[in-house]
Amino acid sequence: MKVQPHFIFVVLLIGTITPVARPQLTSLQTLVATSGLATIAANSAGVFDLSFEKLLLVGLAAAIVLRPRSDVNPSAYCDAYPTYTYDSTYNLCYRSVKTPPLSAPDAEAACSADGPRAQLIRITDDHIYAFVLLQMTLNGIPNIYFQGKRLTPTGPFLYNDGTPVTYFRWDAGKPTDNTYIRTDTNTRLMDDSNGSTLRSYICAVY
């Protein structure tokens, strides 16, 4: 008995429009990958007679489902980080660390040690920048390291996942040729750093 391809199309397309929390993503990835590969293999074997457009649809739907989901609410998995706080105003699950201050690499390692989703905070827009300044004020933090690192003195600053940092509020004359990003003690604007000085930091769950 031939398997009707319409069922597989439905499974794939439902996956593209259904909100999926990150803890559920692994099983869906398995289903999509298996269904997509099975469809393509069956078509090659003559079980299906799908047009190029339909095969393209299978591939496109699978790609959409498997893409990283940045639209998932952090509150859905903040409970797994008992030392973190969820702020609904900023939609952040975070932990502010005043002491002990750490170097930039050690601060990143300290965040990562909290769990697989924990990283140094990303300042992506004015909204998050305002949150960082608020945390610094509330906790008496003079300056912090945050996410952003470059591989060469003139290269782009990158997030941990390799995507470029696009939001900056540089202090006058910055950046120079350093590797990491921090806030300036006096202006609270962004400054580049070699990462060796011990500073406070904020971890966030992504």
| pLDDT tens track for 179-194 | 999 999 999 999 999 9
Position 6 pLDDT exceeds 90: no
Position 197 pLDDT exceeds 80: yes
Q: Where are the domains of the chain?
A: 5-66, 74-205
| pLDDT tens track for 11-67 | 444 454 444 444 444 555 566 657 766 777 777 777 777 777 666 666 666 665 555
Identify which of 137, 150, 147, 148 has the alpha carbon closest to the alpha carbon of residue 188. 137
| CB-neighbour burial class of residue 168 (10 A; exposed 0-12, middle 13-18, buried 19+) | middle
| pLDDT tens track for 154-170 | 999 999 999 999 999 99
Residue type present at position 181: I
Q: What is the CATH number of domain 74-205?
A: 3.10.100.10
- Model pLDDT, residue 57: 67
Identify which of 162, 186, 159 has the alpha carbon closest to the alpha carbon of residue 174. 186
Model pTM above 0.75: no
- Model pLDDT, residue 122: 98
